[in-house]
A = this chain, B = another copy of it.
Amino acid sequence: MLGLGKMGANMARRLARGGAVVHAWNRSPDVALSLAQEHANVLARGSLAELVAGLATPRLVWLMLPAGRATDEALHTLLPLLSPGDTVLDGANAYYKDSQRRAAQLAQAGLHFMDAGVSGGIWGLQNGYALMVGGSARALAAAEPFIKILAPAPDTGWLHCGVAGSGHFVKMVHNGIEYGMMQALAEGLALMNGKREFDIDLAAVTEMWRHGSVVRSWLLDLAAEFLQRDQALDDIQPYVADSGEGRWTVLESVEQGTPAPVTSLALMMRFASQGQGDYANKLLAMMRSGFGGHAVKEGEA
């Protein structure tokens, strides 16, 4: 297990509790040492070389590194250390095309690559993680015992989606759907909030909808919960961050030529919430005022 951030550390814990021996490495070594103290079957490793050396072949190296260059850098270091037949699994979020590229790169060295979209957040330690896995059947055989420990139950909550890249692809689409569903729910709740004359109790409505309505969903559960505590949201900034998956989903739509208008728009609304549409809005304000200003110039001519 390389990378012991919030996700990686908890996954290591769940694996350890499930009886697996986990060789753990992190850029700052304290986290690995602390994990090793928690669990006897977690072994803290000081370097990638030490970690690889400690594993019997065929090895399984599980990456949970931050997005960006870290994964490519780790692969670059690992490549000469690993032996043909070893498997590298990337469980962090990544663009599926990067995963396809990495799979091809590793295959040249006789290594297997797997990609796993992992969902579960901070409650995954207790409840398990949903895993969407891509890679060959041989690679899966190596990883499957560990996937079964991580999943909510050995047979549910994980899926071998297909070849390398398909795991991150399915996770990407999952998050794209999430963008649209969230936006739809938020728009409806805002319309109720905006209807002052009815003075609707959003907490009560969302709680009621949880029982038997067509829109019942985990996102609704979540909304019902925080609306129970606060409906005014006066202290919340109307700023909605976005991460890679939403963007990648729109790129996919454009590349395929398959329309995903609502998904795209949900992403664009997040951009707008971040103030990235301000310049366009200034231009529009200028055009509107210009209907008059231009006229003056024309009139003088």
Contacts and interface: CB of A to CB of B under 8 A. Distances in A.
Interface in A258-301: 258-288, 290-299
A183 B288 CA distance: 11
A157 B176 CA distance: 30
A183 B180 contact: yes
Copies of chain A in the complex: 4
A297 B225 contact: yes
Given A191-B256, A236-B285, A272-B272, A212 B261 contact: no
B254 A180 contact: no
A198 B177 contact: no
Contacts of A209: 130, 174
A161 B217 contact: no
A215 B174 CA distance: 7
Interface stretch (A58-66, A81-89, A237-245): A237-245
Given A123-B296, A170-B205, A181-B184, 19 more contacts: A124-B295, A128-B212, A130-B209, A132-B208, A169-B192, A170-B200, A175-B214, A177-B187, A213-B218, A222-B290, A222-B291, A233-B282, A233-B283, A237-B285, A238-B275, A238-B277, A257-B276, A258-B279, A261-B272
